[in-house]
Structure 1
């Protein structure tokens, strides 16, 4: 999307259905950002692009965060600049996940408001 597309779309919404569509589009965009960033981070950390990494060697999202990015203690010998960079990437991935979860919560709230007993 262009820089102003989200703003332009948001300021023209006037119905609940339009809001639902906007949130669905937001969720899709955030999911794509999260997936792309995770793959880029995995490639940068391994020195091998995601597309050039065999499928069985590709870390899943949780493994990437746990094993390579999110640190409660810095591994022995790692420079502070590398630790801060990795922790920053972890924070950004977690933030994108939080937005993804929040948009799912909005969707569930909308369903609940219409029919609390409907299967999600």
Structure 2
């Protein structure tokens, strides 16, 4: 979706079903963004595209975060530009995870409001 579509769609929501659909669409878009950004970052860090990486060497974005990006201490000898790049990618992936968690929370709240005893 382009930049204004989300805003326009959000302004037109008037029912609980429309809100459910909107939250589900956000969740799906976030998942696509996580996958794409994780693959792109992994490709840059490994120096070859995702498609050119053998399946047994591919990893998902949580692994990428833990092993390659998220730093509490900058490794010795790492250039500042590399550290900023890695930390920025880590922050973007964490932000997308936060949105994914928020969409799950909204879905669970909707289930709870309709039937608190229903298995989630």
1:7 aligned onto 2:7: yes
Q: Distance in 1 between matches of 2:102 and 2:29?
A: 13
User: What corresponds to 1:16 in structure 2?
Assistant: 16
5+ long unaligned stretches in structure 2: none
1:42 aligned onto 2:42: yes
Q: TM-score, normalised by structure 1?
A: 0.97
User: What corresponds to 2:60 in structure 1?
Assistant: 60
Q: CA RMSD in A?
A: 0.8
User: What corresponds to 1:79 in structure 2?
Assistant: 79
5+ long unaligned stretches in structure 1: none
1:102, distance to aligned residue in structure 2 (A): 0.4
The question of whether the paired residues in 1 share the 8 Å contact of 2:42 and 2:50 is answered with: yes
Q: TM-score, normalised by structure 2?
A: 0.97
Secondary structure at 1:77's aligned position in 2?
Answer: coil
Secondary structure at 1:117's aligned position in 2?
Answer: coil
Q: What number of residue pairs does the alignment pair up?
A: 120
1:32, distance to aligned residue in structure 2 (A): 0.5
